Amino acid sequence: NNPIEAGLDRFFKMGKSADYLGREALEKIAAAEPDMKLVRIVAQGEPIANPRETYPMAAADGQGDGCVTSITYSPRLKCNVGLGYLAAECASVGREVTISVADRVISAHVADNNWTTQPEE
């Protein structure tokens, strides 16, 4: 992944004259839309057993895929919250996704910055 997919492009200027490692690659990525976007995830249910694993994730309608990079149970929100990369066209807030954890599939959705958005209806 890269800083553009992670939404960190607001912290650097692509037009700078300074040379740095990876500049050409970032310029190519910035010229096109990123394939993936970093999203916040909310999943109801039991706490996920191993939050350090990377889990496959897909849009519930099967149109895009990605992976959950970190997830843990939030006692305050009473749900699992996490971060992951999802196909850019499927990364809208409220989008329903599925996460494959061990031998089960968990329903989840893309959340806003506070992990409070409800799934799309």
Tens digit of each residue's pLDDT (9 = 90 or more) over 21-40 = 888 888 888 888 888 999 99
Q: Write out pLDDT tens, residues 3-17.
A: 888 888 878 777 778
Q: What is the pLDDT of residue 119?
A: 60
The values of phi and psi at residue 18, to 5°, are -65, 145
The values of phi and psi at residue 88, to 5°, are -55, -40
The values of phi and psi at residue 105, to 5°, are -115, 130
Flag whether pLDDT at 52 surpasses 80: no
- The encoded tokens of residue 76 equal 């305050």
The pTM (predicted TM-score) of the whole model is 0.82
Q: What element of type H or E holds 24? A: helix 23-31
CB atoms within 10 A of CB 111: 23
Please state the domain extents for the chain: 1-34, 36-111
Q: In which band, very low, low, confident or very high, does the pLDDT at 43 lie, cut at 50, 70 and 90?
A: very high
What's the CATH number for 36-111?
A: 2.40.30.110
**DSSP state at residue 42:** E
The CATH architecture assigned to 1-34 reads: Irregular (4.10)
